[in-house]
Amino acid sequence: MKTLLLFILTAVAEIVGCYLPWLWLRKGGSIWLLLPAAASLALFAWLLTLHPAASGRVYAAYGGVYIGTALAWLWVVDGIRPGRWDVLGVALCLAGMAVIMFAPRTA
């Protein structure tokens, strides 16, 4: 559960770091949005270092959680409810993440 929560926090940091420049460029937001965006992306990079697994494995598994978090963002922030195919896709990605992160390892 700790790993999943860390992945979710990491995904939120990445999404915020990308969303704020999007607000600036696409929605006419203030250029000052780039400062918290940069801080959020730095937080994202730092959070990735907190995972105990090998970096390549972490990046691969993180992708599955990122997809789920991005669709939650779609619903909560953009007000668009994900459809059943979105939910199925997230379930498949999270299953893949679980296999990658929690499979027994000998080395």
Kindly give the interhelix angle for 55-76 and 84-102, rounded to the nearest 10 degrees.
Answer: 160
77: CB partners within 8 A, 6+ apart: 19
**pTM of the complete model beyond 0.85:** no
Query: Which of helix, strand or coil describes residue 80?
Result: coil
Region 102-107 average pLDDT: 79
Q: How confident is the model over 65-90, as pLDDT tens digits?
A: 899 999 999 999 999 999 999 999 99
Residue 49 to residues 9, 11, 105, Cα–Cα distance (Å): 13, 13, 20
